[in-house]
Structure 1
Amino acid sequence: MFINVSDESITVNNKWERAELAQIEEISMYPVALIGDVLQRLGMMASVIRHVAGKATFFGTVLPILTWEGDNLAIHRALDDAQPGDVLVINGNGEINRALFGDLLGEVCLARKVAAVVIDGAVRDIQELDAMGLPTYARAVNPAGPSKYGPGQVGFPVACGHIVCNPGDAIFGDRDGIIVIDRRLVSSLAAKLKLQDDVENNFRARVRASLG
């Protein structure tokens, strides 16, 4: 960790697999709304988890984190294990009076090639995160900083925005919101998305032709 604090209170699970990034990238060409339609609207986070800074669109694999309310030690520990394309998905217990994430952690995320940060809790340093371009979604914005004592968990399933997020699941975000997909469904999803996209494009073409 970049901070000189004991992480003994953080429980870490490293025994899980990530969805294939190449397959996730193929799916990412479609909007979240279309992906959700194909998956029967399952896996879509509650709209209270909203885009607050950086780019609005992202895709990657879930690196789940559970924090104590107002404490971000688990996030610091998780970044030790983050791989390129990971998305930090943080259950902050919906606490919005203390920010769990700011620009200094954002710098570490960029260095680790983290794809995005999604927090069921609060963030701060919005202007700086916006300048970095790091896609950041959260329940709220608050300037009050966190403690760094723990406890917490890294690499175990968490709830975020009313959705269970398992380690290694695929996750996508755009201006409409966020969807999480079981990693076992990723390999067969691109073909289904293309079929639905073709249906919708044909509908648009028929409407436009009728106005010509």
Structure 2
Amino acid sequence: MGLQRYIVNFPRLSPGLLDAWRAVPSRVVADALGCGHVVAPGIRSCAPGTRLCGQARTVTPMPGDNSVLLTACSLAEPGDVVVVGGAGLETVAVAGEWVTRSCKSRGLGGLVIDGAVRDLREIRALGFPVFAKGAVPRAPHRAVGGKMDLPVMVGGVAVSPGDLLVGDDDGVAVVPLLAAEEALRQCQDRMARLEHLPDRPPERLILEIGAKDRPLPTPIASALPLLTALALPDPDLFDFPAAH
């Protein structure tokens, strides 16, 4: 097996910060940070109703092989989310009941796979958060290898070791590690405003969400200038009040 593991010492988010993030839906992350932080919609929860929130440990397997995934699941710390940059390969499953059961027993935070799984019924029964592109019966190889703890692409989004992943029935959002605290403030501000919206007909409510007195999100340029420069613009910046 040719395994390339890179030693990374990314900062660990505090338990309090992670607890606060667990209350944030993926849709709020998308609203606050923009669609460039949302994984492609084909990667969905295998067990509807499950939710993941944790820092990433990344792997890039050789096509059709899951040996590096097994290694990552053994080395990841409790709460970590193992992220597989599988290039969207759906003809071979890289995880199933056995991998899912092992991750759950070790207290990991979840699996996000840009590829396929199998044993879908058993995964759902375990209730462990597994997000994947599809399911297929074909089993993987376990002798080729891959790379661990390098940046990977998952559903069109770059994920680095330590980045925060938030997943629920709507999909998966990625929060850059260095922006986790600032992004949380943005998300909490948006959630607070939604809680205090008046109970009015939807037509009027939609207009008021885009009204001029709504505060715009604070950019995360101070934390990640390059990422902000490359990110897609926040769609909220194009919301204009209706003309009268």
Identity %: 25
Displacement of 1:202 after TM fit?
A: 2.4
* 2:166 maps to 1:172: yes
CA displacement, residues 6-55 of structure 1 (integer Å, 9 cap, x when unaligned): x4x01011223144152122022121111211113331000011111364
Kept in 2, the 8 Å contact 1:54–1:132? The answer is no
Partners of 1:47 and 1:79 in 2: how far apart? 24
Residue matched to 2:123: 129
Aligned residues of 1:59 and 1:115 also touching (Cα < 8 A):
yes
> 2:64 aligns to what?
70
Deviation of 1:206 after TM superposition, in Å, equals 4.0
Structure 1 residue matching 2:142: 3-state secondary structure: coil
- Aligned with residue 17 of structure 1, among 2, 10, 15: 10
CA deviation profile, 1:187-206 (whole Å, cap 9, x unmatched): 22332222212222222x24
TM (norm. structure 2) is 0.78
| Matched positions, count | 201
Contact (CA 8 Å) 1:122, 1:142: kept in 2 or not?
A: yes
Q: 2:11 & 2:133 partners in 1: Cα distance? A: 26
Letter in 2 for 1:124: R
Pairs within 5 Å for 1:64-103: 64-103=58-97
Question: Unaligned stretches of 5+ in structure 1?
Answer: 1-6
More deviation in 131-140 or 23-32?
A: 23-32
* CA deviation string 1:106-137 (max 9, x = no partner): 12101221111111110001111111111111
Residue 37 of structure 2 corresponds to which residue in structure 1? 43
Q: Would the aligned equivalents of 1:18 and 1:61 in 2 still touch at CA under 8 Å?
A: no
Q: Which amino acid aligns with 1:72?
A: N
Identify which of structures 1 and 2 has the higher relative contact order when contacts are C-alpha pairs closer than 8 Å and 6+ apart: 1
Q: 1:50 to 1:21 in 2, by over 3 A?
A: farther
Matched, 1:193 2:187: yes
**Per-residue deviation, 1:66:** 0.3
Would the alpha carbon gap of residues 89 and 187 (structure 1) be closer, same or farther in structure 2, given more than 3 Å must change? Answer: same
Structure 2 unaligned regions, length at least 5: 205-244
Residues 71-129 of structure 1: CA distance to partner in whole angstroms, max 9, x if unpaired?
Answer: 10111111221101111110112111110001111121012211111111100011111
Find runs of 4+ consecutive structure 1 residues off by over 4 angstroms.
none
Note if 1:153 corresponds to 2:147: yes
For 2:14 and 2:142, how far apart are their aligned partners in 1? 32
Q: Deviations over 1:136-189 (max 9, x none)?
A: 111110011000122301111100111000000000001111001111111223
Partner residue in 2 for 1:108: 102
Give 3-state SS (helix, strand or coil) of 2:84's partner: strand
